[in-house]
Amino acid sequence: MRKQIAAANWKMNNTQEEGTKLLNEIINSDVQVNDNQRVIFAVPFPYLVSANQQLNNRANMFVSAQNCHNKTAGAYTGEVSVDMLASINIQYCVVGHSERREYFSESNQQLAEKVDRCLSKGITPIFCCGEPLTIRENDGQNDYVAVQLNESLFHLDGETIQKVVIAYEPIWAIGTGKTATAAQAQEMHSHIRAVLANQFGDTVAANISILYGGSVKGANANEIFSQPDVDGGLVGGASLIATEFIQIIKALK
């Protein structure tokens, strides 16, 4: 059974004090995280160690990095390698967020390398894909996302691809207040699963968690997460508000 996941992406937000307070409010709430569920906090690099300590091995709750470098080591000032993340017991890493693709020109090939680096150290990549507004307006979203999956993930075998979490982010719905309807989210998630099934088979595709990312809030999480191919969310702004993210966690199947 594939995992149902609420992943918080704090992006470049929160001081150490603010992050500690936010995390405490969430983990000390009445929220229950079942064994088929995961709650993941993708925090800024400076807070990875302290966030891990705060979680203190709480069942089914994990810390994630927001990015990693595609090289093992070297003269890359300011970058963070997968080996570094593994050395501090980080078990997840976001790869290919649309902001990384847009602002830092990350290519599908670079992201394939990042995925490989993560998997080589036992870190689960949360691989992001999704289309900009211009592609959606021209009804090209299915082909666009299929190319992203093909060029970054299809070098993996059927066993290994099941170690990847996929997050679909309609770029036009990130931080804009616009949200894909539940039907639109299901349509794309179903398409992604069909693309995976075509490459790896139905059984493998059925085991891969696919998250929706794009202005998920407490108010719409139940409807979005109730869709059969939506396995949770990669949440930005709403994850910075404890009451909102708690609602989102409670909406998991």
Tell me the pLDDT tens digit for each residue of 33-66.
999 999 999 999 999 999 999 998 899 999 999 9
DSSP-assigned states of every residue in 20-40: HHHHHHHHTSS----TTEEEE
| Tokens encoding 21 | 């307070």
Beta bridge partners of 65: 93
Q: Give me the tens of pLDDT residue by residue for the chain, a chain 253 residues long.
A: 899 999 999 999 999 999 999 999 999 999 999 999 999 999 999 999 999 999 988 999 999 999 999 999 999 999 999 999 999 999 999 999 999 999 999 999 999 999 999 999 999 999 999 999 899 989 999 999 999 999 999 999 999 999 999 999 998 877 676 778 899 999 999 999 999 999 999 999 999 999 999 889 999 999 999 999 999 999 999 999 999 999 999 999 9
- Residue-range domain boundaries for the chain: 4-250
Identify the H or E element spanning 245.
Answer: helix 242-250
46: amino acid identity, one letter: P
Residue at token pair 């990350």: 106
Amino acid at 195: V
Give the whole-angstrom CA distance, residue 81 versus residue 72.
6
| Active centre residues (catalytic) | 97, 169
CATH number among 1.20.120.140, 3.40.720.10, 3.20.20.70, 3.30.360.10, domain 4-250: 3.20.20.70
Helix, coil or strand: residue 42: strand
DSSP 123: P
Q: Which of 151, 139, 75, 42 is nearest to 106 (CA)?
A: 151
